[in-house]
Amino acid sequence: MSFTLVVKYQILAVIFATIALTPVDSFHFKFPSFQDENDPDIILSNNSRIFLDAIQVTPDARGVVLTNFSGRVFYKSSVQLWRNKKGKLEPATFNTTFVLNISPQTPTGGEGLAFVLSGDDTLPENSEGEWLGIVNATTNGTSEARVVAVEFDTRPSYPEDGVDNHVGVDVNSVYSIIQEPLIRYGVNLSTGMDVTVRIQYNQNLSVFVSMNGSTGEYMKTPVISVPINLSEYLPEKVFVGFSASTSIHTQLNCVKSWEFNSTDIVDEENQLLWVWITISAAVVILISGVGFFFYWRRKRSMEKPEDAYPRIEDQIKGSSMAPRKFRLKELKNATGNFNRKFKLGKGGFGTVYKGLLENKEVAVKRVSKNSRQGKQEFLAEVTTISSLHHKNLVKLIGWCYESRELLLVYEFMPNGSLDKYIFCDEKLGTVEQLPLNWETRCSVIHGVAQALDYLHNGCEKRVLHRDIKASNIMLDSEFNARLGDFGLARTIQKRDETHHSTNIAGTPGYMPPETFLTGRATVETDVFAFGVLVLEVVCGRKPGNQNEENNYNSSIVYWVWKLHSRGRILSAADPRMNGDLEQKELECLLILGLACCHPNLHKRPSMKTVLQVIVGEAAPPVVPTERPAFVWPAMPPSFKEDIENSLIGSQLTPFTEITGR
């Protein structure tokens, strides 16, 4: 280290020391509300918690027994209440303002709530009931209690306690040294409304109470003003906070906001000590800071910046019609730093949040960092969607890759996903959404078919969606279907027909039987999933369990096919439509759905045919009345017809047909 550098250090150290010597003469904290359930600035006793933007000093009503609890809540650090200056005691002064909210749960109300100054930050044992969390039967009335409290009593706890609804000052005891009924100040503690309290201490302890906000006229005259020498009862440093209790009489004891100011007095000897501590700390911080700076510079020059997915950007930029690139900061702002409140849903590899970008609502998908597929999915999604443009696809607006965060921005779909509308959740007992009418159902099916036909046949590269299901169909403001979630999509070269398959993925219930053998996604698996979707939308039923090969007994396909074989296919319609539908269209869609779910993949229609059937340009395919058994390997179409013909005519083995060709 050079000489000039040392000099610079010394100058800096002196500056720091001077800052440290400047007296800091106030202690202040403020909680406009209590948002963080694990706020590190608040000490909560066992029965207290922060919930619904308030401190609940005793437990609240959600399913727990409220009787016989006491609780205490303190600010994390203690306040200097007085100091010993050359044998003479010098008191501090303080002000505090807080908003209480007490809701009685039994007709007589619970016990009460108190502002406390205490020598320690623990809750006395057995301090519930009449003891208000201030003392217990042993410590009541003894100097051991080391507590001064301003109680807000909602019922007389003992015969001498006077009227309910009073404020009192308690010193090492629950028997107040002074108390005052509140009703003549226009305050009733037990109404469940907010009560604002201000407590001031400058040798006199003054309490102001108001029910109409801090500007009320009663805030000008104290309810109680009593001279009290706190240093006689309390140690130099005290914890400030609240206590409360319930007995067989219960109430909710909440504190909704809290501000505290005091003159901060520090011992002179301590001050000198602090100067030394500060100087040493400043020097250590400086040296380590400079050391770290050099270390960081050297490290930076030696290493390339770490980047998990270096080529991601090139790949995206290379694709045509590249979506907009966003900064992480913009998207954090848009979603309130990925606030849980804005969560729209959770998918296989990420969470979707609602966001506001330039006054436009958007959906932001945050790809989970621990998802192993995260990067691949992200790439697939960005490169795939950015090259796709269709009115029935959810539009990708932009993307972001920063600090290992992968994010996708989509247009916002105000009506959410289709599954919310078509399934009636019997467990909940209520149907949240009105069931869709017949026209909307038809238009949703038509929209999805158009989107899928576009993916399979209409775009530059063939795209398999691979995860068609009701929760992946979004509804825009006019209830048009929009196919979303291309996380599992893969682009496939159209010409490379023989390899138009990729690895297995999808959702049980939407997968055809052959996937369990081949483990492959194909155009036909998409068609199968589409068929299941058609049946769901028409019947208003969940797809059911199809997660085992050939075990379709509980599935919607099996169910509809059974009705078909009994000639009662029309009864499959969702009863919530009350028969308000076109029978011809209904039959056509159900048959089409079954055709798409044919166990033999070669018998399933293409999306082009499906679309023709839906618009009425082609008749629905013929579907056998008995659901054909699943055979593997599936017969390719040319062989199959011959075999079927032969089986109808005679019981010959297929051998002759093959040789006969």
Ligand X SMILES: *[C@@H]1O[C@H](CO)[C@@H](O)[C@H](O)[C@H]1NC(C)=O
Q: Which segments are annotated as binding site for ATP?
A: 365
For residue 126, what are its two tokens? 């057995």
CA angle, 575 then 580 then 583, to 5°: 95
Annotated binding-site residues read: 365
By the 8 A CB rule, do 609 and 622 touch? Answer: no
- In the 8-state DSSP scheme, what is residue 458? I
Reduced to 3 states (helix: H, G, I; strand: E, B; else coil), residue 534 is helix
Minimum CB separation of residue 391 from ligand X in Å reads 58
Minimum CB separation of residue 53 from ligand X in Å reads 23
Please report how many Cα atoms fall inside a 13 Å half-sphere around the Cα of residue 145, on the Cβ side: 24
Minimum CB separation of residue 49 from ligand X in Å reads 20
Give residues in contact with ligand X (CB under 6 A). Answer: 67-68, 89, 93-95, 124-126, 129, 136-139, 165, 183, 188, 190-191, 200, 202-204, 225, 227, 229, 231-232, 247-248, 261-263
Please identify which residue in the block is written with the tokens 């319609």.
573
Reduced to 3 states (helix: H, G, I; strand: E, B; else coil), residue 285 is helix
User: Cis peptide leading into 633, omega within 30 of 0?
Assistant: yes
Greatest Cα pair distance, the chain, in angstroms, is 120
By the 8 A CB rule, do 163 and 176 touch? Answer: no
Minimum CB separation of residue 136 from ligand X in Å reads 4
The 3-class secondary structure across 351-385, one letter per residue, is EEEEEEECCEEEEEEEECCCCCCHHHHHHHHHHHH
CA angle, 172 then 173 then 178, to 5°: 100
By the 8 A CB rule, do 471 and 622 touch? Answer: no
Q: Cα(first)–Cα(last) distance of the chain, in Å? A: 94
Q: Closer to ligand X at the Cβ: 204 or 645?
A: 204
Cβ of 605: how many Cβ atoms within 10 Å? 21
Minimum CB separation of residue 151 from ligand X in Å reads 17
C-alpha torsion 371→372→374→375, nearest 10: 150
Q: Closer to ligand X at the Cβ: 232 or 425?
A: 232
Q: Closer to ligand X at the Cβ: 126 or 351?
A: 126
Catalytic residue among 467, 485, 526, 574: 467
Please report how many Cα atoms fall inside a 13 Å half-sphere around the Cα of residue 224, on the Cβ side: 25
Minimum CB separation of residue 44 from ligand X in Å reads 17
Q: Closer to ligand X at the Cβ: 191 or 368?
A: 191
Q: Does 267 participate in catalysis according to the annotation? A: no
Q: CB-based burial of residue 93 (10 Å sphere; 0-12 exposed, 13-18 middle, 19+ buried)?
A: middle
Backbone angles phi, psi at 299, to 5 degrees: -60, -40
Going by C-alpha positions, the residue among 462, 475, 562, 588 that lies closest to residue 522 is 462
Minimum CB separation of residue 201 from ligand X in Å reads 8
For residue 605, what are its two tokens? 């229609």
By the 8 A CB rule, do 473 and 444 touch? Answer: yes
For residue 265, what are its two tokens? 């007095």
Minimum CB separation of residue 87 from ligand X in Å reads 9
CA–CA separation, 377 and 136 (whole Å): 61
Residues forming the active site = 467
